[in-house]
A = this chain, B = another copy of it.
Amino acid sequence: MGRSRITARDVAAAAGVSQPTVSRVFADNARVDPATRDRVMRAAGDLGYRPNRLARAMSRGRSHTVGLIVAGLDNPFYADAVDRFSRALQARGYHAVIVTASNDAADLDGQVRDILAMQVDGLILASVSIDNALARAASQAGVPLVLFNRGQHGTDLPTVTSANHDGGRRAAHLLVDRGHRRIAHVSGWQGSATGVDRQRGFLDGMADRGVAPLACIDSRYDRDRARRAVHDLFGADVTPDAIFAGNDLIAFAVLSALRHDLGLSVPRDVSVLGYDDVAMAAWPEFDLTTFRQPAGRMVDATIGMLMDLIDGRPVPDRLTEIRSDLIERGSVRAAP
């Protein structure tokens, strides 16, 4: 097991040049005699040399590495996002160091400081919010960060989300316009900006139409909690005829509870509306009407913003909100 890595010095010796010349050949920005370059490239090929990225990072002060901190990988939306992030970064010569976090702020602090010690060039926080102390630590270290789909109220940290408030509002409009009057919201976690914004949008949208919402129940993005919420809703005197769910996974849980626990039919008895448009939403078991968060566009915007920050380019907008389009399937009834 040869820990005998080939170094630029080895290549230099083989090609009859000095180590800096090898470095210049691989740097691509310095002028090298074509004949010399050929010799070096041939020697490098023969020896199987690849520049040590750690050493390069040390020397240039750029690791070409980005920290990707994500919670909720059990949600296919975020699994998909991680997939896209990693590909997008690779395409730009970067690599992602992945850290899976809980929503526990104490853990997160250590994890972020740990990953900052790895000299990442940037930080993406997906589905995770951070406090000001942490944001300051990152900015003090000169490491830019972008929040993905989990804005932070009361800060001006660069953020990419879908237009959650707008989506929530349009959800309310849609359900009212389809003739529903007893509309409940099984919301996302009210400790997350995503959950809060969608709920506020929903409430504003209801107010727009002059209809009082039946109830808002926090599911905390938990399937069991969502199921119990449905049971509670249907145990009351006035029962909903439509449910707006905080995201698709919640909507699936709501569908299960309605159909399998309560024996109700969707959308005949109750309409269900989701948010995200994960792949499963199109499966015939769910056939979920939902607002699509365009993961591809959101990831591209995030990467673009991060790269601008890393390279010191001005960032047009610190807050990018991408509109969610309604994907109409079969879980919300047609207009009466």
Contacts and interface: CB of A to CB of B under 8 A. Distances in A.
A256 B279 contact: no
A20 interface: no
Given A76-B76, A100-B86, A117-B52, A142 B1 contact: yes
Contact of A1 (B57, B65, B68, B139): B139
Greatest chain B CB density within 10 A among A51, A52, A73, A74 is at A73
Given A61-B3, A82-B82, A98-B96, A117 B283 contact: no
A142 B48 CA distance: 14
Interface residues of A, number: 58
A48 B54 CA distance: 23
Contacts of A117: 50-53
A141 interface: yes
A140 B98 CA distance: 26
A256 B99 CA distance: 35
Interface string A52-83: 11110110010101001000011010011011
Nearest to A49: B117
A95 interface: yes
A2 interface: yes
Contacts of A32: none
Interface of A: 1-5, 48, 50-55, 57-58, 61, 63, 65, 68, 73-74, 76, 79-80, 82-83, 86-87, 90, 95-100, 111, 113-119, 137, 139-142, 252, 255-256, 259-260, 279-280, 283-286
